[in-house]
């Protein structure tokens, strides 16, 4: 197996990926909270970790990829209590909570199938693992790191920090958090310190989602679900825990604390966080009126969008930037990604049609041959160095002109060795399709019927040119171009087309 390096956000440095059980990888990625439609910000982590999943499998690992569905839970932000999003949205939409959950889970699956994301090995739900969460809370209480108040249970962060490093992921200092949060203790009488987080919440009479527990009827806190589900399916310690940078604190920090107390060891060996998507340089959020739902992104039905963009264009856009870098959305960036994807896919289709012809004694162009081999081999090196999809795509862009030049005759086939040509074909198939997960854009039309119509128009254009009716010839070409179909007059007299 290839040596793999990933950026371990726990230690903030690259490490060799050697601590796995031989041949196996356990990966847990925080899934969606299905209280509403998925938006542009959700696209990045699931596309990012889909590539991680694909590449690990390509390297020969047997991967158990667990991605949860958060369909219940009490949410906390920056140490402050926040609403139960599912219960609140269910009341607004006048739906049963599980009816709302199913609605948005279905929408989530629909959107991410369109992105060509592979299904995880296991997709557990929080509501399906209430027993496991209660048992884990009981263990934490027995060890003295949680306390009950009025039917709610809280994790004692200050006690944990006496012997453990609370802030190990985010770099936050507990003393600073305590100094800030203790000024805000009003209405928080249940907690010893405001930094303490809920493991279980007592359900008030109006709360629809509730389960029996040793502390009365209630519902689980947000953080406990991931610790309970990851340990059930991946063990007390597993290999990779992933998610968005916004989950690093408090969610992942709290996961580490409660898991370490319950299980006696650090839950994940490697923590991977994708950075955020900004929109025209601003953070995405309701306050800025710039949250773009995926359905709006596909249709263009949003005030920030000039038009709709295809799922493959969005996937390509996400992969053009390294997962740890901020990604800025704009119409210009999406349109550039659309053109870039078309350019690479066109080169791929050309390459698949080419057949190697023997050199017949003609010399190989050693410089070009080596450069093509290097570009191909570097694709493996880049993905093995912290999954750098941006550099892989850059190399494919370097190779595309070589492919087009072979087709056009500017580069003769014999200038590459047969071995290098086969490597070129294999590299494009493996990286563009198998690992990056890109697909050709599809139209809402039967492709064979569309091809027949275009071929008919091509024949009509040839006949017009043969009659020297250049006005009619140009009209056919220009009207096809206006709807995104570009004709190209080849050197051998044939006419080819591409869909933009």
User: What is the reported pLDDT for 53?
Assistant: 98
Mean pLDDT for the stretch of residues 30-55: 94
Task: Say which range, 18-27, 37-46, 270-279, 462-471, has the weakest mean pLDDT.
Answer: 18-27
Mean pLDDT of the chain: 89
On whether 109 is known to bind a ligand per the annotation, the reply is no
Task: For 265-297, write each residue's pLDDT tens digit.
Answer: 999 999 999 999 999 888 887 778 889 999 999
For each of the domains in the chain, give its residue range(s) and CATH number, in order of start. Answer: 5-274 (3.40.50.620), 294-435 (1.10.730), 447-499 (no CATH)
On whether 226 is known to bind a ligand per the annotation, the reply is yes
Say yes or no to pLDDT of 361 above 90: no
On whether 353 is known to bind a ligand per the annotation, the reply is no
User: What is the reported pLDDT for 269?
Assistant: 92
Q: Which of 65-74, 80-89, 165-174, 320-329 has the highest mean pLDDT?
A: 320-329
On whether 286 is known to bind a ligand per the annotation, the reply is yes
On whether 81 is known to bind a ligand per the annotation, the reply is no
What is the distance between the alpha carbons of residues 336 and 191, in angstroms, rounded to a whole number?
51
Task: For 435-477, write each residue's pLDDT tens digit.
Answer: 999 998 754 334 556 677 888 888 888 888 888 888 888 888 8
Say yes or no to pLDDT of 91 above 50: yes
Say yes or no to pLDDT of 431 above 60: yes
């Amino acid at each position: 197996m290839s040596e793999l390096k990933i950026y371990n956000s726990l230690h903030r440095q690259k490490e060799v990926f050697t601590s796995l059980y031989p041949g196996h990888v356990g990966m847990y990625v925080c899934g969606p909270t299905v209280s509403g439609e998925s938006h542009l910000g959700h696209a990045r982590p699931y596309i990012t970790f889909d590539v991680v999943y694909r590449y690990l499998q390509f390297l020969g690992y047997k991967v158990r990829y667990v991605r949860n569905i958060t369909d219940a839970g009490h949410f906390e932000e920056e140490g402050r209590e926040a609403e139960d999003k599912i219960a609140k949205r269910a009341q607004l939409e006048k739906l049963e909570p599980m009816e709302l959950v199913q609605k948005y889970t279905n929408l989530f699956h629909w959107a991410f199938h369109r992105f060509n994301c592979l299904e995880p090995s296991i997709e557990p739900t929080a509501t399906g693992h209430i027993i496991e969460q209660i048992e884990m809370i009981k263990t934490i209480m027995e060890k003295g790191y949680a306390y009950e108040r009025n039917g709610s249970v809280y994790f004692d962060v200050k006690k944990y920090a006496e012997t453990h490093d609370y802030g190990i992921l985010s770099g936050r200092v507990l003393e600073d958090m305590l100094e800030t949060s203790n000024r805000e203790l009003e209405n928080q009488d249940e907690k010893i310190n405001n930094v303490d987080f809920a493991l279980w919440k007592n359900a008030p009479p109006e709360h629809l989602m509730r389960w029996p527990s040793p502390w009365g009827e209630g519902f689980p806190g947000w953080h406990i679900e991931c610790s309970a589900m990851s340990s059930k399916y991946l063990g007390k310690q597993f290999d990779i825990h992933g998610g968005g940078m916004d989950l690093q604190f408090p969610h992942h920090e709290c996961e580490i604390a409660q898991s370490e107390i319950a299980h006696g060891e650090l839950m994940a060996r490697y923590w991977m966080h994708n950075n955020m998507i900004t929109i025209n340089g601003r953070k995405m959020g309701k306050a800025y009126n710039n949250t773009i739902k995926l359905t709006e992104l596909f249709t263009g039905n949003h005030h920030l969008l000039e038009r709709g963009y295809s799922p493959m264009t969005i996937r390509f856009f996400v992969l053009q930037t390294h997962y740890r870098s901020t990604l800025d959305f704009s119409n210009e960036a999406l349109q550039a990604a659309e053109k870039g994807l078309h350019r690479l896919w066109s080169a791929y289709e050309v390459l698949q049609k080419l057949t190697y012809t023997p050199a017949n004694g003609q010399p190989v162009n050693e410089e070009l041959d080596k450069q093509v081999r290097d570009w191909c081999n570097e694709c493996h090196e880049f993905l093995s160095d912290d999954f750098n999809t941006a550099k892989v795509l850059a190399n494919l862009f370097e190779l595309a002109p070589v492919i087009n030049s072979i087709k056009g005759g500017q580069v003769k086939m014999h200038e590459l060795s047969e071995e290098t040509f086969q490597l070129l074909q294999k590299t494009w198939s493996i990286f563009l399709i198998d690992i990056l997960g890109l697909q050709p854009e599809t139209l809402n039309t039967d492709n064979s019927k569309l091809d027949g119509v275009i071929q008919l128009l091509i024949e009509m254009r040839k006949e017009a040119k043969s009659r020297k009716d250049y006005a009619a010839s140009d009209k056919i070409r220009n009207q096809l171009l206006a709807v995104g179909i570009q004709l190209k007059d080849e050197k051998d007299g044939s006419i080819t087309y591409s869909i933009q």
